[in-house]
Amino acid sequence: MAVVEAKNVSKLYAVRGIETRALHEVSLAVGAGEFIALAGPSGSGKTTLLNLFGALDAPTAGVVEIDGQDLARLSRAQLAALRLAKLGFVFQAFNLIPVLTARENVEFVMELQGVPAAERRERANAQLAELGIAELAEKRPLEMSGGQQQRVAVARAIVSQPRVVLADEPTANLDSVTAEKLLDQMERLNRERGVTFVFSTHDSRVIERARRVVRLRDGAVVADEHVAP
The one among 72, 97, 129, 222 contacting another protein by CB under 8 A: 97
By CB under 8 A, the residues from 109 to 138 that bind another protein are: 109, 111-113
Binding flags for another protein, 137-176, as an x/- string (CB under 8 A): -------------------x--------------------
Give exposure, 16-52, as e/b (b: 16+ Cβ within 10 Å): eeeeeebbbebebebeeebbbbbbbeeebbbbbbbbb
CB atoms within 10 A of CB 102: 28
Residue 219 within binding range of another protein, rule CB under 8 A: no
Ordered alpha helix ranges (H), the chain = 46-53, 76-86, 102-113, 117-130, 146-159, 176-193, 204-209
Which one, 78 or 176, has the nearer CB to another protein? 78
Handedness of CA 127, 94, 180, 201 (dihedral sign): positive
Residue 72 within binding range of another protein, rule CB under 8 A: no
Which one, 100 or 126, has the nearer CB to another protein? 100
Residue ranges binding another protein (CB under 8 A): 51, 54, 56-57, 76-77, 80-85, 87-89, 91, 95, 97-100, 108-109, 111-113, 156
